[in-house]
Amino acid sequence: MSHFSATHNSLAFFTVADLAVTPWRNGGGETREILSIPDQASDFNWRASIATIAEDGPFSLFPGIDRSITLLSGEGVHLFAEGKIDHALNTIAEPFSFSGDVAVTSRLLAGTTTDFNIMTRRGTCRAVVSAKQQEFCAPLLLGGVLLVLRGEWLLQGENGLSAQQGVVWSNSEDMTLELLLQPQTADALLIWAAILPL
């Protein structure tokens, strides 16, 4: 595979603190959207965001959507849906997938948490989320997000990424391209969300 040029116009760098904040309607938290495809569409094909959960309460329903949530900071939350979900999301960088059709309630385990969220439209595409600590190549596929949790990483041998920084892309014209990620510190940890065609 060829490596992806960092000057390609579909690759965007971001810092979490610079993402726009949208408070939840129920007042229990806020969302920082990384990317939604198509942009500004309520019927998105896939969407990546970071949520801050400050209070116990229900998650919004997203019929027809598959969800993946990964703890970024804090002690985590307990996710519950009668007869369907009973899960403690309390391990940093360990993703948990569930259906957006299910009415899920979250209960904070101890204080505010932040989470990485990927949503994909069922029947259109799917997401695979994983934690990385060693050098790897991320194929571009339909799209993806890289978010650094700890340490320092080098992208394509030239662009440095630190904690709370990331890269997002979509609709690559050449599906054979890939991104090379190299850890630069012993504690390096990042989340990679790959958006795959069905």
Angle, alpha carbons 151-153-155 (nearest 5°): 165
**Quick one: tokens of 108?**
């904070």
Phi/psi at 30 (nearest 5 deg)? -150, 160
**Quick one: tokens of 178?**
């890939």
Give per-residue pLDDT as tens, 58-79.
888 899 999 999 999 999 999 9
Task: Work out whether strand 152-155 and strand 95-99 pair parallel, antiparallel, or are unpaired.
Answer: unpaired
> 76 or 24, which is more confident?
76
Indicate whether 84 pLDDT > 50: yes
Give per-residue pLDDT as tens, 26-44.
778 899 999 999 876 678 9
Mapping DSSP onto H, E and C, the string for 79-148 reads EEECCCEEEEECCCCCEEEEECCCCCEEEECCCCEEEEEEEEECCCEEEEEEEECCCEEEECCCEEEEEE
Dihedral of alpha carbons 17, 23, 27, 28, sign: negative
Dihedral of alpha carbons 89, 59, 80, 67, sign: negative
Q: How many residues does the chain have?
A: 198
Give per-residue pLDDT as tens, 123-140.
999 999 999 999 999 998
What pLDDT does 173 receive?
56
d(CA 144, CA 169) in angstroms, rounded, equals 6
Provide the whole-model pTM: 0.90
Give per-residue pLDDT as tens, 138-189.
998 889 999 999 999 999 998 999 999 999 998 755 555 789 999 999 999 9
